[in-house]
Amino acid sequence: MSKKIVVQKFGGTSVGSPEKIKAVANRTSQLLENNNKLVIVVSAMGNTTNQLVKLSKEITSNPSPREYDALVSTGENVSASLLAMSFQSLGIDAISLTGAQAGILTQDLHAKAKILTIKTDRIKKELDDNKVVIITGFQGINPNADVTTIGRGGSDTSAVALAAALDCEECEIYTDVDGVYTTDPRKIKDAKKLKEVSYEEMLEMASLGAKVLHPRAVECAKENKIILHVRSSFELTEGTRVKEVNQLEVSKPVTGITINENEAIISMIRVPNSPGIAGDIFKELAENSINVDMIIQNVLEKTDSNNISFSIHEDDLDQTLTITKSIAKKLNCKILSDTSIAKISCVGIGMISKPGTAAKMFTALGRKNINILRITTSEIKISCAIQQKDAQKALEVLHKEFELE
């Protein structure tokens, strides 16, 4: 019988110290007894990436993306080789491969490059030689053989892309929580672990601030029909499987509630009302890979101008301000920004077949005197921007309202 390839990803907390790295090797080595071939994707140890970023900031506030990638990618090289050593010290043959060595080819773009293809020859050769293959997450190379990185949290995506390239059914994501919950269990004690969740729901939850999985990883898993198994690095219990789920088999309208307190709202005041301007603004933001959410445009009465406002991640605030201010200068309009915003979202594929979910959400918030600043919806999600100070209260009332305890 040919052996099955298992792809596992261990995040920064899971490989945060030499002891933890040894524990990973110990744990996963048991899997080899079941006649598996192991591919392990690792992030950088604990705080390493932040330390490297700090070093670069001491040199310049604006490093070139190429050098930035060359720098931050070294964190994964360290953890990968240390994990390979750990396996070897258990008497298990293992090898670490960098993104370049593993054949992970990306766009010619830095800091946020997409994986284009994976040339798996070297990986397969090493697996055929009965080695555990440990691959640096987060990085690849562009056509010039320069190191690229695929964005923060990108190791999840690396793992899924590898699982797809290696024809695996499932990809195991080991992390410091033991699964996906109805909401953040640090905020709501009664939060419940979900046994399974659909790609669409996970995607909404990942984009909205549930830090368990990177949204691009979920997208990539969905496209390639890879089941993601999110589970604890430290316990042996089953976690949450992210997979295809039939909406009609879901009994509750809402599966989970997420809160994102790192939102910022940008408002462009008195934008001239001529065709193509909004398009220009959002095109430029997109070209800089800034994710824009909750766009609202009001036509101002008796004028030829609009107010356009939209929300972004706080991390993108500086860059967004630079871009919008340069546009605003040309258009002679004004830019305001607000970072005291939180976004609370109810997510569930069940709401497709169960109308009235939005009304229920707004009523529950209103009952607690929580002001809704703006609303966006998708087929399986309703989001409200609220004041940050109301965030906890809103979470509590909605978690109860949709019977998620």
Say whether residue 29 binds a copy of itself (CB under 8 A).
no
Regarding beta strands 240-243 and 293-299, do their DSSP bridges make them parallel or antiparallel, or are they unpaired? unpaired
Say whether residue 55 binds a copy of itself (CB under 8 A).
yes
Say whether residue 22 binds a copy of itself (CB under 8 A).
yes
Q: Which of 163, 228, 173, 220 is nearest to 43 (CA)?
A: 173
Candidate list 82, 177, 210, 271; residue touching a copy of itself; CB under 8 A: 82
Nearer to a copy of itself, 127 or 346 (CB): 127
- Contact pattern for a copy of itself over residues 97 through 116, marking x by CB under 8 A: -x-xx---------------
Burial of 307 (0-12, 13-18, 19+ CB in 10 A): middle
Say whether residue 124 binds a copy of itself (CB under 8 A).
no
Half-sphere exposure of 348 (CA within 13 A, CB side): 29
- Rounded to a whole number of angstroms, the minimum distance from the CB of residue 275 to a copy of itself is 39
Say whether residue 357 binds a copy of itself (CB under 8 A).
no
- Contact pattern for a copy of itself over residues 146 through 175, marking x by CB under 8 A: x-----------------------------
Burial letters for 79-113: b for 16+ Cβ neighbours within 10 Å, e otherwise? bbbbbbbbbeeeebebbbbbbbbbbbbbeeebbbb
Token digits for 162?
């590898």
Say whether residue 241 binds a copy of itself (CB under 8 A).
no
8 Å CB contact between 321 and 327: no
8 Å CB contact between 347 and 209: no
Regarding beta strands 381-387 and 334-347, do their DSSP bridges make them parallel or antiparallel, or are they unpaired? antiparallel
Candidate list 6, 15, 84, 197; residue touching a copy of itself; CB under 8 A: 84
Candidate list 40, 71, 218, 264; residue touching a copy of itself; CB under 8 A: 71
Say whether residue 62 binds a copy of itself (CB under 8 A).
yes
3 state SS of 195: coil
Q: Which residues contribute to the site for a copy of itself (CB under 8 A)?
A: 18-19, 21-22, 52, 55-56, 58-60, 62-64, 66-68, 70-71, 74, 77-78, 80-82, 84-86, 88-89, 95-96, 98, 100-101, 145-146
